[in-house]
A and B are shown apart, each in its own frame.
Chain A
Amino acid sequence: AQSVTQPDIHITVSEGASLELRCNYSYGATPYLFWYVQSPGQGLQLLLKYFSGDTLVQGIKGFEAEFKRSQSSFNLRKPSVHWSDAAEYFCAVGAPDNYGQNFVFGPGTRLSVLP
């Protein structure tokens, strides 16, 4: 079974600064990888996903993520953070050979943005 870690529980950055949220996974093969964002009291919105191909993935709201097989990582980045980016971010891993039951979320990273 796969697992996901997000080493940073809470990150605070200033508006306009760059951002990197870390995600590491454990899985025997290449998994499907996702980043979701959740605003307080809301559901999850998909930012981007990686299934195969180009390891640098572009998403919505100016986010990108890079899949690094050698490091088992899928870190999320944004060059310039906006105050509206303050939210909870979840990395998730899906096993390609198992439809649904093995979709695992990381513990989440809470992002705070200083004005």
Chain B
Amino acid sequence: GAVVSQHPSRVICKSGTSVKIECRSLDFQATTMFWYRQFPKKSLMLMATSNEGSKATYEQGVEKDKFLINHASLTLSTLTVTSAHPEDSSFYICSARAGTAYNEQFFGPGTRLTVL
């Protein structure tokens, strides 16, 4: 149980285009989903937290107009990187929490974004 998927696993796009990444909780309802960014050989940095049906809460320094997050249902959250640039190239990982009191998050396999 507690499986989280991400799609696509890899995406290459041209500079200036937008890319959408999906995060799905496959066997549980995720009241909260999180988006992380991981630079090469670095740890995960939390970008934003999204609760189903409400606006995402962004961490300091993360541009909310550039990284659009939608959490329209209890099993799906999307991250859209708008007008992508090469510096947006990174590994994006989502996680989902079922709303228990234990703060445990289940992580997706990640999406490798390369902006040319």
Contacts and interface: CB of A to CB of B under 8 A. Distances in A.
Interface in A72-115: 90, 94-96, 98-101, 103, 105-108, 110
Given A41-B112, A103-B34, A105-B43, A96 B103 contact: yes
Interface string A15-44: 000000000000000001010100001111
B43 A108 contact: yes
Contacts of B41: 110
Interface residues on B, range: 20 to 34
A51 B57 CA distance: 26
Contact of B57 (A36, A101, A103, A108): A101
A100 B43 contact: no
A103 B105 contact: yes
Interface string B79-116: 00000000000010101010101111111111010000
Interface string B26-59: 0000001010000001111010010000000100
Contacts of B109: 42-43
Given A95-B103, A100-B34, A103-B105, A41 B49 contact: no
Contacts of A96: 101, 103
A98 B101 CA distance: 9
Interface of B: 6, 32, 34, 41-44, 46, 49, 57, 91, 93, 95, 97, 99, 101-110, 112
Interface of A: 32, 34, 36, 41-46, 49, 51, 90, 94-96, 98-101, 103, 105-108, 110
